[in-house]
Structure 1
Amino acid sequence: MPVSPSSAAQAAREAVARRLRDLRADAGITGTELASRCGWTHPKVSRIENARTPPAPRDIRLWCEACGAVGQAEDIITQSRTAESLYVDWQRRVRSGLRQLQESYVDLYRATTLFRIYSPTLVPGLLQTEGYARALLSANARLLDIPDDSAEAALARLRRSQIIYEPRRRFVLLIEEGALHYQLGDHDAMAAQLGHLLTAGALPAVSLGIIPSSTSERVIWPQEVFHIYDDTLVSVELLSARVKVTQPSEIALYVSAFEQLRSMAVYGADARALVVRAIDALQ
């Protein structure tokens, strides 16, 4: 399994830091000299070189100018922006509201033909009903201490999810059985969500697998929520951030984990029986 879902992001940051450090060394100047030329304190140079502080574009331009390498500045700026895009905390993502966050995924969804999603505690967004999504997004707004636009965000999520009815796409969705019993919203909202699973899970393009709580010998333990988009991107959802994994070796690791999780799931009539059991438990 991946050692850390943020490892790709950290490796990318370290590559930028290493490149800047090499520029300084090649120029034959010390960190103190570089700080003086840029008008900084020495600790700032140290934080940048040790990948503790991401450099701003202006920092990179000043750094390259001080090292006599102005021509490399724009390339390093692009590299740094790519590194920072791999790990984005939710507070930054939701500055413009939860509705806009939902809409920001539309282009990625349009570009994807095979969706593989694992969720240990929640019904995946693609299969969420309005009431369930609204309850979840409202809880997220409270957690992040931001204005609650969960009603608009839930509708945006439902519009985005219409993609499951479009041709030429496949959706392989895995959840742990416990996700069927963690109630979000009121009784009616949860009942509607479980009922929707019975119908959406039967769509030709959708494969819904449920890992029973009674699985006696797990081949792999429950993981964090992750989405695999084709074979080009893995998105890992943490409490504080969304991590984008783009390294082929790490993507392959998530695909392997997904297949192991998939091997423990039940499908078809057996999966529907677990959903019906959860519906009965609501009574």
Structure 2
Amino acid sequence: MIAARLRRSAILYEGGRSITILVGEAALHHLVGSPDIMRAQIDHIAKLATTTQATIGIVPFESFPVLVQHGWDQRDRIITLETSAGDIEIADPVEVARYERWVQLLLEHALTGAAAAERCARIVSERGTPSPGVPE
């Protein structure tokens, strides 16, 4: 499982790929797991935003151009929605174009690179100090 995770994360550093990951700022404020886990996750996103070939974007509260009801993954011309009942694949060109337009709208408003890392740092600092024993 660890080897598979490392292989998946390695593609973020490879050239020649077009990878875009967008996260709504609200997702970074929800406490999923302990505060220490959330801090580590947000710190990881901040690091990825400035060290990978991928575009990592944080769509801020103050500028969310489209309200999407779910997350999705796009590979080539297929959109995959993950649901509790299983994956749904969408290949209809009109629907795929709709998702691609949403990505463009979200990217136009997203904080990327250093700006995304700064927003992550602000969210972490607003949460307060880390628990004892957790490295800075």
TM-score by length of 2: 0.79
Larger Rg: 1
For 1:262 and 1:238, locate their aligned partners in 2 and report how far apart those are by CA, in whole Å.
24
Residue 194 (structure 1) aligned with residue 42 (structure 2) = yes
Q: Percent identity?
A: 29
Corresponding residue number in structure 2 for 1:222:
68
The answer for unaligned runs of 5 or more in structure 2 is 129-136
Displacement after TM superposition at 1:228 (Å):
1.2
Question: Do 2:58 and 2:110's aligned partners in 1 also have CA atoms closer than 8 Å?
Answer: yes
Corresponding residue number in structure 1 for 2:90:
245
Question: Do 1:225 and 1:238's aligned partners in 2 also have CA atoms closer than 8 Å?
Answer: no
Task: Write the letter of the residue equivalent to 2:87.
Answer: R
Corresponding residue number in structure 1 for 2:132:
none
Q: Which of 30, 38, 47 pairs up with 1:182? A: 30
For 2:39 and 2:7, locate their aligned partners in 1 and report how far apart those are by CA, in whole Å.
21
**Cα pair distance change 1:156/1:182, threshold 3 Å:** farther
Task: Write the letter of the residue equivalent to 1:192.
Answer: A
Corresponding residue number in structure 2 for 1:213:
61
Question: Do 2:66 and 2:106's aligned partners in 1 also have CA atoms closer than 8 Å?
Answer: yes
Task: Write the letter of the residue equivalent to 1:194.
Answer: I
SS of corresponding position for 1:242 = strand
* CA RMSD between the two structures: 2.1
**Cα pair distance change 1:256/1:161, threshold 3 Å:** same
TM-score by length of 1: 0.41
For 1:158 and 1:183, locate their aligned partners in 2 and report how far apart those are by CA, in whole Å.
25
Residue 262 (structure 1) aligned with residue 110 (structure 2) = no
Relative contact order, higher structure (CA 8 A, sep 6+): 2
Displacement after TM superposition at 1:272 (Å):
1.9
Task: Write the letter of the residue equivalent to 1:242.
Answer: D
SS of corresponding position for 2:111 = coil
Displacement after TM superposition at 1:204 (Å):
4.3
Question: Do 2:49 and 2:114's aligned partners in 1 also have CA atoms closer than 8 Å?
Answer: no
**Cα pair distance change 1:197/1:259, threshold 3 Å:** same
Task: Write the letter of the residue equivalent to 1:191.
Answer: R
Moved over 4 A (4+): none
Question: Do 2:50 and 2:117's aligned partners in 1 also have CA atoms closer than 8 Å?
Answer: no
For 1:261 and 1:164, locate their aligned partners in 2 and report how far apart those are by CA, in whole Å.
20
Q: Which of 115, 126, 131 pairs up with 1:281? A: 126
Count of residues paired in the alignment: 128
SS of corresponding position for 1:214 = helix
